[in-house]
Chains A and B, each alone.
Chain A
Amino acid sequence: MSQKAYDDSFIAEALPAFISEAQEQTDALEQLLLQLEDAPDDRELLDALFRCAHTVKGSAGIFGLDLVVSFTHHVETLLDLLRDGSLGLTPDLSTLLLQSNDQIRLLVAAAAQPALHESSESVAAALERAALVQRLQTASGIPPEPAPEPASDPQRELPDSHLPCWHVSVQFGADTYRNGMDPLAILNYVRGLGSITHLVCDAAAVPPLQSLDPESCHLSFDFNLRSVASRAAIESAFSFVREDCTLRLTEPGQPLQDFAERLEAIPDKPLLGDLLLAVGAVTQTQLTHGLNIQAQSAAALGHAPPLGEILQTNTGLRPQVVHAALQKQAKHRDTVAGGANAADDNRFIRVEAQRLDEVIDLLGELVTASAGGLLLARQSKQRALLEANQQISRLISDIRNGTLQLRMVPIGETFARFRRVVRDTAAELGKDVHLEIIGGDTELDKSVVEKIADPLMHLVRNALDHGLETPAQRSDAGKTEQAKLTLSACHDGGGILIRILDNGRGIQRDRVLARAWERGLVEPGVTPADEDILKLIFEPGFSTAEKVTNLSGRGVGMDVVRRNIEQLRGSIMLGSEPGQGASIDIRLPLTLAIIDGFLVGVGPSKFIFPLEAVVEVIENRPTATALDARGRSVVELRGQVLPVVSLRTLYALEAQPVERSSVVVIRAGTRRFGVMVDTLLGQHQTVIKPLGRMFRSLRGMSGSAILATGEIALIFDVNSLSQLASDAPALSQRAGRSNAANTHNNTGHISPISNASLQGQTS
């Protein structure tokens, strides 16, 4: 017994490592399968595939994950045939293997979380698996076994009488059928766990035909189940109906001594619930339920009844077992002084994202506070104090980088998911698409990666659906039959640039424009610049219906995509060469929490530019022309004309104009422009605070920061600032004012600075 307990505790400790390894293996399997599609005869790929599957199967065997082993075995068989060359990889086969890999992944995930084990081991899942096994066997040329068991279980061959005899009493809820569940299928599944005897169905519970609601379930059963399956495994059979069925499991055959002994053998588990759970006396669901009751009673009565009592009354748990567990618990409390269990955390620490956020939040405060300290130290002019403070600032900066690094993940994982999406979607649409992934190791903040996945998915689907043509259309157009879709990521300034590039038919500007006229987004007859036409696709009112799909090739829900990206302080830009393809550039900040900023002042107001966006600063440079109504003008920079915008005029700041202002040259995407400010205050590390509700509508700003002096500075979002500075008057809310001002200004200033002219200067 103690040997078994030792094994159990070993398994419990090593399981997470297995799970993460198996997850890596399944990911590798998927990637290999996808690669194999391009090179079906690649011997090395085939070997690697087989090894992956074999590794999963082998280590699953060590951990007794029979479901994983038996299923993976079928996959392995098929892979072996492929490796021998006795079978060739067909697209169908590839699909089957990919689906099987998904199945393995599911099984592994189920093993990872015993609590979820129940739902993943549902009847539907088991049936799906059985179907897959059948297909795998057919593919391998093995005659499928008649009616494969939902759970292939070697223990079933043992003589039943030696097995523990459970008594199961289950009453299905009235909505069972309506929820798509069938007690018949569930019972058949239970038969896979062991042998059912003495099954009794309560006939009286079924009303006569006259008063029957035939879609309500009135069935309830009592039966004995001889099985070695754990309580959780048996309960899991009912997981899909668990919500509205009454299930009671009792284990009459189990000697109480057994539980007590197992309790004795459990390593340090301090909580009663955990103890009972670990020996299988209760299931996770029962425990959670019990704990809920406890919490509710505590709220209602002011004191919490002991968990043991609750479990006894609710689950039929024997008092003796509870007693043994309580003793173990008491013993543990005596010895617990020893401290932490060091064995747990070797390789990975799973930390709640929330906690990390809290640390980063605090770190932000620390950055601000230390800047304040440094400022005071400078003012005190005490060298030692100043040095100490500088040292602190340096360390904080290191900690900041280290902490932010914790949140960084390579985007490649997200990209890799698209291989499958592209493959499946392209097959569905009858298109031949090659996906190229570049720069998958580019890292960015986890929260950004998570939030960008959906918009990316949308864009990729759009490109597949509308952008890329069918092989026939492509060869008609004189292009290669196989279309190409490129996903790339790279660092770009202080952010990351994600680009989705396709060589499809591109976006038809005239149709977009026609649509925009029709929808009233642009005055009919007015033709904006090419780039602006493409932007119309992102306008909320551009379209809602499939009409657009046929019309422009793009556009369903693109405004949502844009909004999501802008929420990440990112920007999205479309490019299109008719007939040659389209490109979508998404620029995102690396992190959402802290930035290195460049502090400037206009009168008493302070502003911060992300340092990465600052190209250079020009001090005391007069503008070549007078400012227009929105503060726009140009300066000469090394023989070139640089558009500039004055913050004072743009935001109507009430401050005396200074005689000679400085210009901060900002790069936003591919554009460059200057921002005229009064004073340059230098580099400043700052924590981004969200803007208050009042300022949400303020354009060009992405957040605020509290300076060391306690002042508030607004942080610019350079992309939207550049748009603000360059928007054509017709699209602007200030159109009226701007036009009026144009008539007053008689100098030959460049107005408006159109996107095209900006583009022309930088490209």
Chain B
Amino acid sequence: MQAELCLPSELTIYTVTELRQQWLSLLNSSQDGSALSATSAADAGDATASPAYFTVDAGPVIEVDSAGVQLLLALSNELAGMRQTLLLLNQSAPLIDALSALGWRALLAQPAEPEALQ
């Protein structure tokens, strides 16, 4: 499936300001559609229709620093407020290293039933 967001190769202090803008506008545009449907789906108790996962393609990430990780955390926190969970797909080695080093293995977690996403 197509990820909703694709991370750039550089996820560092040099790119975070720009990325934050991009991500926010992406979230705003999707809020009208999918987020609303998420709410309605939750209201309706219909788990299958809900995009409870916000999928992010982390494959391209080559360079990542603390500011980059922090931005991912902020995205995760933002999504939590929208009752969505950040799901990192296709995790690149640098990203795994950085998240592990900073105590954020939790972000690397994959859903219990990954086949549901395929």
- Segment among B18-26, B34-42, B43-51 that sits at the interface with chain A: B18-26
**CA A187 – CA B66 in complex, angstroms?**
10
Q: Mark A178-217, 1 if CB is under 8 A from B, else 0.
A: 0000111101100100000001110100111110101101
Check A215 against B74 for contact (C-beta < 8 Å).
no
Interface residues of chain B: helix, strand, loop or mixed (majority): helix
Interface presence of A758 (CB below 8 A): no
Interface presence of B71 (CB below 8 A): yes
Contact of B66 among A177, A191, A200, A203 (CB under 8 A): A177
Interface presence of A18 (CB below 8 A): no
B residues within 8 A CB of A207? Answer: 74, 77
Check B13 against A212 for contact (C-beta < 8 Å).
no
**Closest A residue by C-beta to B107:** A203
B residues within 8 A CB of A218? Answer: 70
**CA A230 – CA B103 in complex, angstroms?**
24
A residues within 8 A CB of B80? Answer: 208
**CA A215 – CA B71 in complex, angstroms?**
9
Closest chain-B Cβ to A81's Cβ sits at a distance in Å of 34
Interface presence of A63 (CB below 8 A): no
Closest chain-A Cβ to B79's Cβ sits at a distance in Å of 8
**CA A223 – CA B104 in complex, angstroms?**
13
Interface presence of B73 (CB below 8 A): yes
Contact of B104 among A201, A208, A209, A214 (CB under 8 A): A201
Interface presence of B75 (CB below 8 A): yes
Interface presence of B101 (CB below 8 A): yes
Check B102 against A209 for contact (C-beta < 8 Å).
no
Check B81 against A214 for contact (C-beta < 8 Å).
no
Check A209 against B74 for contact (C-beta < 8 Å).
yes
Contact of B71 among A210, A214, A221 (CB under 8 A): A214
Check A206 against B70 for contact (C-beta < 8 Å).
yes
**CA A206 – CA B104 in complex, angstroms?**
13
Closest chain-B Cβ to A699's Cβ sits at a distance in Å of 56
**CA A215 – CA B67 in complex, angstroms?**
7
Check B67 against A217 for contact (C-beta < 8 Å).
yes
Q: Which interface residue of A187, A199, A200, A206 has the most chain B CB atoms within 10 A?
A: A206
Interface presence of A106 (CB below 8 A): no
Interface presence of A219 (CB below 8 A): yes
Check B65 against A209 for contact (C-beta < 8 Å).
no
Interface presence of B78 (CB below 8 A): yes
Contact of A214 among B16, B76, B98, B102 (CB under 8 A): B16
Check B98 against A184 for contact (C-beta < 8 Å).
yes
Check A209 against B101 for contact (C-beta < 8 Å).
no
A residues within 8 A CB of B71? Answer: 209, 212, 214
Which B60-118 residues have a C-beta within 8 angstroms of A? 65-67, 69-71, 73-78, 80-81, 98, 101-104
Q: Which interface residue of B69, B70, B73, B98 has the most chain A CB atoms within 10 A?
A: B70
**CA A212 – CA B76 in complex, angstroms?**
12
**CA A206 – CA B73 in complex, angstroms?**
7
Check A212 against B20 for contact (C-beta < 8 Å).
yes
Check B67 against A177 for contact (C-beta < 8 Å).
yes
**Closest B residue by C-beta to A209:** B78
Number of chain B residues close to chain A: CB under 8 A: 27
**CA A32 – CA B17 in complex, angstroms?**
50
Given contact pairs A214-B70, A214-B74, A209 touches B23 in the complex (Cβ within 8 A): yes
Interface presence of B27 (CB below 8 A): yes
A residues within 8 A CB of B98? Answer: 184
A residues within 8 A CB of B76? Answer: 203
**CA A749 – CA B79 in complex, angstroms?**
97
**CA A731 – CA B69 in complex, angstroms?**
68
Check B66 against A219 for contact (C-beta < 8 Å).
yes
Check B75 against A219 for contact (C-beta < 8 Å).
no
Closest chain-A Cβ to B5's Cβ sits at a distance in Å of 12
A residues within 8 A CB of B66? Answer: 176-177, 182-184, 217, 219
**Closest B residue by C-beta to A200:** B103
A residues within 8 A CB of B16? Answer: 214-215
**CA A665 – CA B76 in complex, angstroms?**
88
**CA A184 – CA B66 in complex, angstroms?**
5
Closest chain-B Cβ to A11's Cβ sits at a distance in Å of 35
Q: Which interface residue of B20, B66, B69 has the most chain A CB atoms within 10 A?
A: B66
Check A203 against B102 for contact (C-beta < 8 Å).
no
Closest chain-A Cβ to B98's Cβ sits at a distance in Å of 6
Given contact pairs A201-B102, A215-B13, A210 touches B70 in the complex (Cβ within 8 A): no
Check B77 against A215 for contact (C-beta < 8 Å).
no
Contact of B74 among A188, A191, A201, A208 (CB under 8 A): A208
Check B20 against A214 for contact (C-beta < 8 Å).
yes
Given contact pairs A206-B74, A208-B74, A215 touches B17 in the complex (Cβ within 8 A): yes
**Closest B residue by C-beta to A207:** B74
**Closest A residue by C-beta to B16:** A214
Closest chain-A Cβ to B12's Cβ sits at a distance in Å of 9
Check B74 against A223 for contact (C-beta < 8 Å).
no
Closest chain-B Cβ to A168's Cβ sits at a distance in Å of 12
A residues within 8 A CB of B70? Answer: 206, 212, 214, 217-219
B residues within 8 A CB of A176? Answer: 66
**Closest B residue by C-beta to A183:** B66
Closest chain-B Cβ to A169's Cβ sits at a distance in Å of 13
Contact of A209 among B20, B67, B69, B103 (CB under 8 A): B20
Check A210 against B69 for contact (C-beta < 8 Å).
no
**Closest B residue by C-beta to A181:** B66
**CA A217 – CA B70 in complex, angstroms?**
8
**Closest A residue by C-beta to B13:** A177
A residues within 8 A CB of B67? Answer: 177, 182, 214-215, 217
**CA A184 – CA B70 in complex, angstroms?**
11
**CA A295 – CA B1 in complex, angstroms?**
65
**CA A191 – CA B102 in complex, angstroms?**
12
Closest chain-A Cβ to B21's Cβ sits at a distance in Å of 9
B residues within 8 A CB of A183? Answer: 66, 102
**CA A207 – CA B78 in complex, angstroms?**
8
**CA A208 – CA B23 in complex, angstroms?**
12
Check A214 against B103 for contact (C-beta < 8 Å).
no
Which A139-185 residues have a C-beta within 8 angstroms of B? 176-177, 182-185
**CA A342 – CA B84 in complex, angstroms?**
73
Closest chain-A Cβ to B78's Cβ sits at a distance in Å of 4
B residues within 8 A CB of A187? Answer: 101-102
B residues within 8 A CB of A217? Answer: 66-67, 70
A residues within 8 A CB of B23? Answer: 209
**CA A5 – CA B13 in complex, angstroms?**
47
Check A208 against B103 for contact (C-beta < 8 Å).
no
Contact of A188 among B78, B101, B103 (CB under 8 A): B101
Check A208 against B19 for contact (C-beta < 8 Å).
no
Closest chain-B Cβ to A214's Cβ sits at a distance in Å of 4
**Closest B residue by C-beta to A204:** B77
**CA A257 – CA B69 in complex, angstroms?**
43
**CA A653 – CA B80 in complex, angstroms?**
91
Check A212 against B103 for contact (C-beta < 8 Å).
no
Closest chain-A Cβ to B101's Cβ sits at a distance in Å of 6
Contact of B73 among A177, A184, A203, A210 (CB under 8 A): A203
Top 9 closest pairs, chain A to chain B, by CB? A214-B16, A209-B78, A208-B78, A199-B103, A201-B103, A208-B77, A212-B74, A183-B66, A206-B73
Query: Can you report 6 residue pairs joining A to B where beta carbons are below 8 Å apart?
Result: A208-B74, A209-B23, A209-B27, A209-B77, A218-B70, A221-B102
* A176-B66, A184-B102 given; 12 more Cβ-contact pairs under 8 Å: A177-B66, A182-B13, A184-B69, A184-B101, A206-B77, A209-B20, A209-B27, A209-B77, A212-B20, A214-B70, A214-B74, A218-B70
Q: Measuring CB to CB, which residues of chain A are less than 8 angstroms from any residue of chain B?
A: 176-177, 182-185, 187-188, 191, 199-201, 203, 206-210, 212, 214-215, 217-219, 221, 223
